[in-house]
Structure 1
Amino acid sequence: MARRGENIYKRKDGRWEGRYIKGRQQNGKIHYGYIYGYKYSEVKHQLILKKYEKQTNHSKNLLPYEGQLLDWSNYWLETFVRPTVKSSTYASYKNKMNVHVLSRIGSIKLQKLTQADIDSMLKKMDKTLKASSIRSIVSVLKNCLSKAVSLKLLIENPCLGLELPKIRRKTVQALSIKDQAKLVQEINTSQKFFSIMLALQTGLRIGEICGLKWEDIDFENNTLGVNRTVLRIQIEDTSGRKTEIVEVTPKSTNSQRKIPISKSLRKKLLELKAISKSDYVISNKHKALEPRTIAYRFQIIRKKIGLENFSFHSLRHTFATRCLEAGGNIATISSLLGHSSTKMTLDCYTNSFFSEERQLVEKLEFV
């Protein structure tokens, strides 16, 4: 095993092997060089020389830049990110950089930034943030610095080779059939809880429910189209507003999908449409209802019937679990959920297969 921050390994033949970045192939893949020796100190010394040699050669072509990481980050966001991504993605990138990166290391000059600076930042993040959040933040920073490398403002990306925390997947929480029945009984008491029923019977994400319009529903063929999502993003404007509601296309190509609806759901949708005065299925007068309002309504109900440990997203998991229990195959369920791949579905719902696994093993019982 290599020591932290080093690419030096002990081989089975007794020698030490040092690895360094020699260059990059045309497809961007890293091309490594290797150094071998019977002493650790010898290999480490050779690696230091190789790194110095590389820096000396590259620095001849390095463009002068006196700006801080903060300056470069803002330029990168405005010039290369904002024109090419959704407003929600831009807001997410900007927030990650401002809150978690620039507040800590933004004052360091771009060309003085080292992996040690970033590693120190990660140690502080590790005390308060989840591994998945840290990885997401580093991904944005890595993209930011990769652009600086391509423009010859940096010799190499200091994010390469970082030791990132491992993500521990949580067990998916889905409602039991008993708890689901309790929830359905409660949400049937008022039309304002219909969004919860939609989530249970379609597996839609909360933003997709908010963005659902009557034009998306085909009552003749009993299908529901997912064509947009509503979310609240962070902004900066002169009026003092910090956030705003935006309507964007679904998060991926797979997320834009058609879902069959049951006869009972079709009936409830027709009843709601008869009294609706909005283009949106779930609305506040003429406007789309925002996600946090729907989440708040679910919070009221779950506290009332003792389901405090379940979030609104648990309804999506519940839909998937009921599909599994009804004998649905992974490819079909993955398509209904709008997952990017069946692997993602399997990773999310492995624990839901336990009853099926038990039945399979029992069939293999030897007499």
Structure 2
Amino acid sequence: MGKDLKGKELGKGICQRGDGQYFARFVNRFGDRQNVYASSVREVKKKLLQAKAADIEKKNVVKPNIRLDEWYKKWMEVYKRPVVRANTIRHYQYVYEHNIVPYIGNPKITEITKLAVQDVLNKLKDAGYQWESINKVKLLLTDMFNRAIEDDLMAKNPAKGVKIPVERPEKEIKALSQEDQQTFFRCSAGTFYDNLFRVAVSTGLRPGELFALKEENIDWKNKVINVEKTLLYQKLEGDTGKTFHEDDPKTRTSRRTVPMNKYCEDALRQQLILHKIAVNNSPKSKEALTDYIFCTRYGTPMCVQIYSDAIKRIVTEINCTRDPLEAMEVFSGHCFRHTFATRCFEAGVAPKTVQAYLGHASLDMTMNLYTSVLQQKKVDDMKLLEDTIGLDKVDEENKSDKIIRLA
């Protein structure tokens, strides 16, 4: 119990100083001792109650003595190391040490402002970094500060709303890696559009060609798909609004025969059953229903927007369990076409044969895709050589030998 200068009990944590001023102490939510001062006992007790109430009520009260380096280590230890891969940990470390610390230093996290974060991104641009690298810095800082807010260490996220000072490059049509392809189809299994995804990645058909498929286009005996039409959903001259138009394929070579593998055949058979269920249970009018194999859950024709939304839902679900820096990028249905072509090239299928599968008008179109895949394959193959050559072991032996010689 505290006392005044005359020895009178004032209450727990309340005392009177030699100059007559009263003060009260309490320990806040972070374990730090806090003081309040007043000229009377009544006033100091009032301030003490107010300070304690504010400490309890403020969910985003900050702890002022945590610096960026300290929080980064704790963030990594608690939130990242247990759940992300070792290679990702190394990547985080590199980004933090080379792209953040040199530009922002080691301030207290509560002193970091939006201005400071924007300044870091601007300096990275001046240093020659491109959009992807700068975006990774923004993502890392955003996640660090979001976690700090959740732990009541910060009031707001200074990385939120900052602008990347480099124009984002146009999205290239990319193919899924084998790992991402497997992850996607594990997640899409059992969903309504899973059969559509499987046929797309197994045949390389364009979205409109998939949407126009009817059972009569499937040659079960010879295990091939006859691509004869494409389905568009758009407003053409004379239309009052967007509507479905069945048309001839894109080019003369687009009218083609594509072989079915086992996965494709199974997906098509399952889809025929699913199609009947969707049509029989549809609340739509008979005129709105379709005999195209791939339809919506209401038995109506498919369009690109519905296709894209279905893909996005799967990718979003995947990213719920992934770290922000490892997030899968949302892609269009056309990506399945390039993924099919990539798997063909990786399997050693001749470019001329791939051209026939894809229905490209010229071999040049196929070779342009093949060239980009081949370049990546060269890089991947060279990485494989690192393991087979085994020079790292020789280097370690040489280091030991040098140490012995020096000794």
Q: Using structure 1 for the length normalisation, give the TM-score.
A: 0.48
Over alpha carbons, which structure has the higher Rg? 2
Q: TM-score normalized by structure 2?
A: 0.44
Higher normalized contact order (CA 8 Å, seq sep 6+, divided by chain length) = 1
